Amino acid sequence: MLLSKLNEVLLSKKPFISEPLNAVPAASALLINIIHWTILAIKIGFGSNSVVLHYSVVYGADLIDSAYLIYVIPAIALVIFIINLFLANYFFKREKLASFFINFTTIIVQLIFLAASLNLIRIND
Q: CA 28, CA 78: separation in Å to the nearest integer?
A: 13
Threshold 0.75, pTM exceeds = yes
- Mapping DSSP onto H, E and C, the string for 4-67 reads HHHHHHHHCCCCCCCCHHHHHHHHHHHHHHHHHHHHHHHHCCCCCCEEEEEEECCCEEEEEEEH
In this structure, is residue 57 part of a structural domain? yes
In terms of residues, how long is the chain?
A: 125
Amino acid sitting at position 12:
S
Tell me whether residue 12 is in a domain.
Answer: no
> What is the predicted pLDDT for the residue at 5?
63
Q: What is the pLDDT along the chain (125 residues), one digit of tens a residue?
A: 667 766 665 566 677 777 888 889 999 999 999 999 999 889 887 776 878 777 777 777 777 777 778 888 999 999 999 999 999 988 888 888 888 999 999 999 999 999 999 988 888 87
- Residue 4: inside a domain, yes or no? no
Is 26 a member of any domain? yes
- Residue 24 lies inside a defined structural domain of this protein: yes
Domain that holds residue 113: 17-124
Domain total of the chain? 1
Query: Does 74 reside within a domain?
Result: yes
Whether 1 is covered by a domain: the verdict is no
pLDDT for the residue numbered 10: 57
Predicted local distance difference test score (pLDDT) of residue 107: 96
